[in-house]
């Protein structure tokens, strides 16, 4: 079952079975359109180069955040604040 954040983070796809293939699906207008439709968002497709760069940064931060927590790291105010700064641009925030 996909969730919004895992669907987004997994837009950086890797074949973990050994072929070494990978792709950044954020760069694909078809993927952008499917993502927006699946999660009922609206945005221009294709995304601008600036928007793609911002999404790639957010994706790296979310992956790092998840890896930190799954390796036993603690949720900190700094981590929540970092995510909230990004989410506030879209009118959302996390409670902590």
Q: pLDDT, tens digit, for every residue of 34-59?
A: 999 999 989 999 999 999 999 999 89
Which is nearest to 35 in space by CA: 57, 55, 62?
55
Contact between residue 44 and residue 38 where contact means Cβ atoms under 8 Å apart: no
Structural contact between residues 87 and 61, judged by C-beta atoms closer than 8 angstroms: no
Q: What percent of the chain has pLDDT over 90?
A: 50
Residue 79 pLDDT: 82
| Chain mean position to CA 41 | 14
Under-70 pLDDT residues of the chain = 1, 90-96
Q: How much is the pLDDT for 76?
A: 87
In angstroms, the CA 76 to CA 73 distance is 9
The predicted model scores a pTM of: 0.80
Residue 49 per-residue DSSP state: H
């Amino acid at each position: 079952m996909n969730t919004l954040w895992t669907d987004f983070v997994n837009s950086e796809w890797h074949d973990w079975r050994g072929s070494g293939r990978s792709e950044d699906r954020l760069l694909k207008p078809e993927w952008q359109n499917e993502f927006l439709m699946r999660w009922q968002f609206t945005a221009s497709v294709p995304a601008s180069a600036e928007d793609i760069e911002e999404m790639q940064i957010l994706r790296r931060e979310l992956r790092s955040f998840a890896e930190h927590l799954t390796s036993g790291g603690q949720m900190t105010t700094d981590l929540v604040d970092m995510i909230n700064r990004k989410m506030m641009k879209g009118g959302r925030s996390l409670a902590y």
